[in-house]
């Protein structure tokens, strides 16, 4: 038995689970392992230093899986923006069939992808943004709750509220993102109207995730209180692992006159990348969601996906269905 949804039908995948596009994690090793498990793996475009490097990574991923996988392309504020159009062209020219977009002003690129017949998932932290993305032509919305790793937006609305409101307001399929790690989460997301779930932090803590084992152990040892929100004064809120660097950033941000330059050396991407390679969770900032409180092992992607789907099926059939009884039996 499998759980069949609009997402599985649209993407041609076995299970309604999508791997989040994670910076410095979304390499071919990660994406192919998730896709081989029957979910949708995601390469992270900007993890690659150039569009040509992304082309090579897409080709490498194809040697590691015969199943569908996608590419995440996130548009974020930058002093010197990456060559987004060249990354988009590389994705299209390499024949990728699914793209996850996120961030600011994606309209131009969504049009490029749709003109090339690419299925577009767009990540949103508010229903109003999802409605705007629908007008731009996206195929699926990923509703990203406040619990999520990375950028939760500035509204602080949790996934339960976002998903329930999306069911009332959206006329296209959506998936649930932020706070999902197990079968209970998948069953809950489906009950709230979603067609599947997106998981980032949970996939970081798998055997195949291309990060240092010490970081996976740090996730297992952590709980739901082990994250911090930084960059709130700059309206670019980001949820990260609560280490000594995060505490220092928050301390500096207490200054009402704080500017980004006051924390810049603490939050450099280079330091964050080295966390994953050296295995020192205190070396820099790295993103995780509150869902770390639900993670207590480091399985293979295959075992994780199978367990999530089986647990969700059991919950639906053996718990929820049994709650519906004839009034005559009350």
Model pLDDT, residue 149: 96
The closest alpha carbon to 219, from 163, 299, 158, 140, belongs to 299
End-to-end CA distance of the chain: 31
Quick: pLDDT tens for 80-103.
889 999 999 999 999 999 999 998
CA distances from 40 to 11, 69, 190 (A): 8, 5, 17
Q: Is 92 helix (H, G, I), strand (E, B) or coil?
A: helix
> Is the pLDDT reported for residue 186 higher than 70?
yes
Quick: pLDDT tens for 197-212.
999 999 999 999 999 9
Asked if 159 and 179 count as a contact pair (C-beta separation under 8 A), the reply is yes
Q: What is the DSSP letter of 254?
A: T
Model pLDDT, residue 52: 98
Quick: pLDDT tens for 188-244.
999 999 999 999 999 999 999 999 999 999 999 999 999 999 999 999 999 999 999
Domains of the chain: 6-212+298-323 (3.20.20.70), 227-287 (no CATH)
CA distances from 28 to 48, 135, 143, 186, 211 (A): 11, 32, 25, 25, 13
Quick: pLDDT tens for 101-130.
998 888 999 999 999 999 999 999 999 999
Q: What is the mean pLDDT of residues 161-178?
A: 97
Q: What is the pTM of this model?
A: 0.95
Model pLDDT, residue 134: 95
Model pLDDT, residue 69: 98
Please, what's the b/e burial string for 296-323 (b: 16 or more CB within 10 A of its CB; e: otherwise)?
eebeebbebbeebbebbbebbeeeeeee
> Is the pLDDT reported for residue 330 higher than 70?
no
Asked if 9 and 33 count as a contact pair (C-beta separation under 8 A), the reply is no
Model pLDDT, residue 270: 84
């Amino acid at each position: 038995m499998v759980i069949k949804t609009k997402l599985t039908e649209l993407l041609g995948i076995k299970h309604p689970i999508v791997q989040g596009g994670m910076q410095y994690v979304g390499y071919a090793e990660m994406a192919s392992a998730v896709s081989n498990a029957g979910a949708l793996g995601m390469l992270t475009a900007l993890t690659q230093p150039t569009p040509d490097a992304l082309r090579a990574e897409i080709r490498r991923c194809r040697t590691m899986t015969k199943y569908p996988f996608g590419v995440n392309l996130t548009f974020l504020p930058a002093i010197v923006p990456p060559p987004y159009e060249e990354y988009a062209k590389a994705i299209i020219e390499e024949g990728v069939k699914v793209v996850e977009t996120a961030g600011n002003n994606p309209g131009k690129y969504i049009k490029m992808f749709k003109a090339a017949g690419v299925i577009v998932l767009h990540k949103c932290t508010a229903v109003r943004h999802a409605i705007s993305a629908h007008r731009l032509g996206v195929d699926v919305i990923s509703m990203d709750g406040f619990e999520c790793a990375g950028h939760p937006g500035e509204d602080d609305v949790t996934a339960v509220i976002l998903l329930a409101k999306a069911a009332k307001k959206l006329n296209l399929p959506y998936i649930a993102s932020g706070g999902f790690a197990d079968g209970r989460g998948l069953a809950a997301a489906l009950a709230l109207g979603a067609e599947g779930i997106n998981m980032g932090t949970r996939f970081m803590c798998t055997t195949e995730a291309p990060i240092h084992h010490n970081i996976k152990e740090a996730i297992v040892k952590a709980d739901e209180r082990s994250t911090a929100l930084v960059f709130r004064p700059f309206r670019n809120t980001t949820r990260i692992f609560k280490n000594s660097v995060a505490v220092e950033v928050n301390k500096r941000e207490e200054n009402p006159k704080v500017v980004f330059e006051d924390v810049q050396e603490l939050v450099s991407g280079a330091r964050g990348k080295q966390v994953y390679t050296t295995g020192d969770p205190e070396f820099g900032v790295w993103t995780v969601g509150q869902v770390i409180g639900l993670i207590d092992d480091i399985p293979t992607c295959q075992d994780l996906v199978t367990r999530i789907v089986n647990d969700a099926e059991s919950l639906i059939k053996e718990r929820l269905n049994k709650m519906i009884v004839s009034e005559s039996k009350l």
